[in-house]
């Protein structure tokens, strides 16, 4: 059963994750890709699946080593508007205006689901325990900690029965 966060918990998690910078630069970029793609696809909040898509856009090869299925199809289904590389880190408006020397400022809302906040928080705690910033491996380990997250990935057809080299015992 998913646990809903209270407003103060959500605000603290947003602040720590977005401003205190506990995430590695690569995981931060994956989160930025996911939130931007959600904004451009008019998805109300970035959840576990959308973040998983952002991870794929950032870490294609590494992610496929841990998960089965056609992850590219999941990305196309969940976030049809997306971009790989540096172009995936800025809005379409900035890309369109870059050639014409027009104003290229941009902004978009970042709304993270409670499940995603809990996952990032768990992954950050794992990384902090060994004195480093949150990496892709910490996120994958964090996913393995909660049946809710495993079930969501399984429902979307992109998880092995074994993850991180350990089989599910329960």
Backbone phi, psi, residue 154, to 5°: -65, -45
Spatial separation of the C-alpha atoms in residues 158 and 140, rounded to whole Å: 13
Among residues 56, 48, 94, 96, the alpha carbon closest in space to that of 76 is found at: 56
Spatial separation of the C-alpha atoms in residues 31 and 9, rounded to whole Å: 19
Across 17-26, 75-84, 128-137, least confident range = 75-84
Q: Is the pLDDT of residue 103 over 80?
A: no
**What is the pLDDT at residue 105?**
62
Q: What is the three-class DSSP state of 87?
A: helix
Tens digits of residue pLDDT in 18-54: 888 899 999 999 999 999 999 889 999 999 999 998 9
Given pLDDT bands bounded at 50, 70 and 90, which one contains residue 135?
very high
For domain 7-100+108-158, give the fold: Double Clp-N motif (1.10.1780)
- Residue 42: other Cβ atoms inside 10 A: 7
Tens digits of residue pLDDT in 4-13: 888 898 888 8
Contact between residue 48 and residue 115 where contact means Cβ atoms under 8 Å apart: yes
Tell me, what DSSP letter sits at residue 69?
S
Tens digits of residue pLDDT in 90-100: 667 665 566 66
**What is the pLDDT at residue 163?**
46
User: Which residues partner with 163 through β-bridges?
Assistant: 166
Helices marked H in the chain: 7-19, 25-40, 48-58, 60-64, 71-78, 92-98, 114-129, 136-144, 147-155
Question: Percentage of residues in the chain with pLDDT exceeding 70?
Answer: 81
Residue ranges of the domains in the chain?
7-100+108-158
Contact between residue 163 and residue 149 where contact means Cβ atoms under 8 Å apart: no
**What predicted TM-score, i.e. pTM, was given to this entire model?**
0.81
Spatial separation of the C-alpha atoms in residues 137 and 146, rounded to whole Å: 15
Where on the phi/psi map is residue 136: left (φ > 0), alpha (ψ -120 to 50), or beta?
alpha
């Amino acid at each position: 059963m998913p646990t809903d966060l209270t407003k103060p918990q959500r605000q603290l998690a947003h602040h720590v994750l977005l401003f205190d910078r506990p995430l590695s630069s690569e995981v931060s970029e994956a989160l930025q890709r996911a939130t931007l793609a959600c904004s451009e696809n008019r998805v109300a909040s970035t959840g576990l699946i959308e973040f998983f898509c952002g991870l794929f856009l950032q870490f294609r090869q590494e992610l496929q080593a841990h998960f089965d299925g056609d992850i590219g199809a999941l990305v196309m289904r969940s976030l049809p508007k997306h971009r790989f590389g540096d172009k995936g880190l800025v809005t379409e408006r900035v890309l369109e205006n870059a050639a014409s020397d027009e104003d290229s400022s941009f902004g978009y809302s970042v709304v993270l689901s409670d499940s995603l906040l809990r996952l990032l928080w768990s992954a950050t705690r794992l990384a902090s325990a060994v004195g480093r910033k949150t990496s892709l491996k910490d996120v994958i380990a964090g996913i393995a900690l909660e049946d809710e997250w495993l079930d969501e990935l399984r429902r979307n057809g992109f998880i092995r029965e074994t993850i991180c080299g350990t089989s599910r015992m329960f």
